[in-house]
Amino acid sequence: MTAGAIYGLMAEFETPTELVEAAKGAYAAGYRKMDTYTPYPLEEAAEAIGAHHNRVSLVVLVGAMLGMIGGYSLEYWVSAVAYPINVGGKPFHSWPAFIPVTFECAILGACLAAVFGMLALNGLPQPYHPVFNSPNFVRASRDRFFLCIESQDPRFSPSDTRKLLESYKPEEITEVPY
Amino acid sequence: MAAPDILPPKGVRPPIIGPGQTFGTITDRIAGIVLTKHTPIFWVMIVAIAAALFGMLQTAVGYLLVKGTGIWGITIPIGWGFAIVNFVWWIGIGHAGTLISAILLLFKQTWRTSINRFAEAMTIFAVMQAGLFPLIHTGRPWLAAYWLFPIPNTMGVWPQFRSPLIWDVFAVSTYFTASFLFWGIGLIPDFATLRDSAKTLVVRRIYGMLAMGWRGSAKHWNRYETAYMLLAGLCTPLVLSVHSVVSLDFAVSVVPGWHTTFFPPYFVAGAIYSGFAMVLMLAIPFRYLYGMQDFITLRHLQNCGKLMLATGQIVAYSYGMEMFIGWYSQDKYELAMVNNRLHGPYSFYYYMLILCNILIPQSLWFNSVRSSPWKLFLVSVVVNTGMWLERFVIVVMSLQRDFIPSSWGMYWFTKWDMMIFIGTMGFFTLLFFIFIRLMPAISIFEMRTLSPQAKVKE
């Protein structure tokens, strides 16, 4: 099989410690296009492959700002422009009374941005992904830890990469077809 | 069924997860409830009863829509009856879920992990029941859309944004949406587990669609964790704001007994109090029926008991303060309100409230009560009864006798009031048990992090 025909090489580990060690080793060897697959969030694994920065917070901030501005503008427009009613002599633009709804709208915008922003940045929903072709991959959502070095990486070579992964004594190494 | 609860020796706290649990056993035990073909007989019985009560709710609401709110006991001056009492009670119950998921997460209370999922579900279902009441108390819910929300209409009328009632609409709907998102984001990795453990193709496809292609990638987990923490941070002020806004529905008015500034913290404490009581009322039967004593241990029950005790003390302080402020104001209407509570026609309810919310929960000071599931269950039932009475006392007793004796009145509920109230309990139970059957009631991926093998060794 040529290098282009496979998605990558997948190594399966039994413990998180072994996985992180292998991921660090692969990163030190210069591999960048790789990913780990774990049954629960493993901060060390993300750090090992250099993926511990993300832009979710920025998306959430934008969501909160949009919610805040949207909520307040709506209240201002309704109360002072579209339907001005004198309530107890208060000004039409009675801003202190508008704060609770502005706050709720900011939270709403931020929460929607957090969830849908996270999904969008992750490229989900994604019905098909090559890693699911790996025969034992169902255990990635159960009790096994996987490291996949992708064939797109410039340093990838079926034999050398396999040798590197083998040096970390995984349970199994499989080729992941597209 | 797992082993019965064994209390550890004095001075040792029970563990937060039973001994000998591995990634595999955690996954199998929790996913097993969902993926089995065998539906337990108690589940069928509970759902049958709950569905019957739900049917009663539909009947009562159907009749209400035909006849109007005149079938209820509300009159002038008591225009807010069961509908508002039940609304506040249910929304209060809905507070513990987000408190457990968000605030306890930020405080790194890992014991929350085994109860957060179903507490979140409880929140969503409780807020659904709460939301029903403002909708049907309009009598014409098909018109309520433009009364409650700013929806453009040919009459050119808009909601009044200076009114706490409209703040309430925004607070409750935001709370529902945020709780739903929090619950949903937590379920994605667990749906992936169910997809990968499913035995039949149909089940695999259904959970596969719900999992949206989750594969546990480190890059995904990284963004996921950020989003989850941010949601927790956002939901913390949100959960405190919701019941504060609910309390402003009362506090902004000038009615004696309502017109106080300490209503927001008082209401929030009461909400968390009743919420934890409801968590225990669900957790204790759940762990017993499904043999989940290894995952929901005595430690969880004890901690919930402690939180109930703490919030119960704040509630007790608030009752005292309510009386004190009435006296301290030396306002004759406020004084009359205090007198009405102690000696008026509804004073029985007030004394029952003190018994249920202050006196009986003092038993939680004793470790023997906190460590006995059935005693805790009984205290929780008492507390939730008391919290319902609290709202009854606040809503009815203040409206019953305001400034002019000629406009005083009495309020008694009708059978339709009762049918709707009991019906929402059935609806809530129905939703909850359907949830237990179809979705993992304990967060599987978070439970894995509690296993001793989960840590990376240096």
pLDDT surpasses 60 at A73: yes
> What CA–CA distance (Å, rounded) separates B74 from B83?
9
Rounded Cα–Cα distance for residues B67 and A84 (Å): 35
Q: Calculate mean pLDDT across residues B248-257.
A: 89
- Asked if the C-beta of A40 comes within 8 angstroms of chain B's C-beta atoms, the answer is yes
| Pick among A15, A55, A93, A118 to test the B interface (most B CBs inside 10 A) | A118
Interface residue A99 vs chain B (CB under 8 A):
no
Q: pLDDT tens for residues B406-447?
A: 889 899 999 999 999 999 999 999 999 999 999 998 999 988
Instruction: Assess A159–B contact: CB distance below 8 Å, yes or no.
Output: no
Q: Could you report the predicted ipTM of this complex, rounded to two decimals? A: 0.91
Q: Which residues contact B32 (CB under 8 A, 6 or more apart)?
A: none
Residue B47: band (very low, low, confident or very high) from pLDDT cuts 50, 70, 90: very high
Which tops the pLDDT comparison, B388 or B402? Answer: B388
Spell out which residues of chain A touch residue B248, defining contact as CB-CB under 8 Å. 100
Q: Residue A176: which pLDDT band, with cuts at 50, 70 and 90?
A: confident
What local confidence, expressed as pLDDT, does residue B6 receive? 66
pLDDT digits (tens, 9 = 90+) for B86-98: 999 999 999 888 8
- C-beta of residue B319 within 8 angstroms of C-beta of residue B342: no
On the question of pLDDT at A59 being above 90, the answer is yes
| Per-residue pLDDT at B397 exceeds 50 | yes
Q: Give the best residue of B222, B228, B229, B246 to mutate against chain A (max A CB count within 10 A).
A: B222
- Please determine, for residue B247, whether its predicted confidence score (pLDDT) is greater than 80: yes
Query: Quick check: bond before A127 cis, omega within 30?
Result: no
CA B406 to chain CA centroid, nearest Å: 39
Number of neighbouring beta carbons within 10 Å of residue B395: 25
Three-class SS state of A9 = strand
Which residue, among A101, A131, A139, A176, would best test binding to B if mutated, counting the most B CBs under 10 Å from its CB? Answer: A101
Contact between B277 and B387 (Cβ < 8 Å):
yes
Residue A87 has what pLDDT? 85
Of A39, A46, A56, which is closest to B448 when you measure between CB atoms?
A39
Q: Span A152-177, mean pLDDT?
A: 85
Distances (CA, A) of A166 to A14, A35, A135, A147, B420: 14, 17, 18, 12, 66
Token pair belonging to B110: 């890992």
Chain A nearest C-alpha distance from B436 (Å)? 20
Side-chain-facing half-sphere of B236: CA atoms under 13 Å: 11
Residue B21 has pLDDT above 90, yes or no: no
With a pLDDT cut of 70, the percent of chain B lying above it is 98
pLDDT in tens, B266-286: 999 999 999 999 999 999 999
Asked whether the beta carbons of residue B178 and residue A143 sit closer than 8 angstroms, the reply is no
Q: Which of B98-112, B213-227, B315-329 shows the lowest mean pLDDT across its residues?
A: B98-112
- pLDDT range class, residue B291, cuts 50, 70, 90: confident
User: B93 to chain A, minimum CA–CA distance in Å?
Assistant: 20
Residues of chain B with Cβ-Cβ distance to A114 below 8 Å are: 181, 227, 230-231, 234
Mean pLDDT of B99-115: 84
- Residue of A73 and A3 predicted with greater confidence: A73
3-state secondary structure of A176: strand
Q: In the prediction, which pLDDT does A1 show?
A: 45
Angle between helices B23-35 and B415-438 (to 10 degrees): 130
* Strands ordered across the beta sheet of A6-13: A34-37, A145-150, A6-13, A172-177
What number is the average pLDDT over the span B30-51? 90
What is chain B's mean pLDDT, rounded?
89
**Summary mean pLDDT of chain A:** 88
| Residue B391 in this model has a pLDDT that exceeds 50 | yes
pLDDT at B108 over 90: no
Would you call the peptide bond into B265 cis, given omega within 30 degrees of 0 as the criterion? no
Chain B residue with Cα closest to A67:
B174
Q: Give kind and range of the element (H or E) at residue A175.
A: strand A172-177
CA distance A164 to A161: 5
Give yes or no for residue A58 having a pLDDT over 60: yes
Show the CA angle centred on residue B254, arms to residues B252 and B255, nearest 5°.
115
CB contact at 8 A, A33 and A152? yes
Q: Does B159 sit within 8 Å of A87, measured CB to CB?
A: no
Helix (H, G, I), strand (E, B) or coil at B345: coil
pTM of the model: 0.91
Tell me the CA distances in angstroms from B188 to A32, A120, B21, B23, B185, one per residue in order: 27, 14, 23, 18, 6
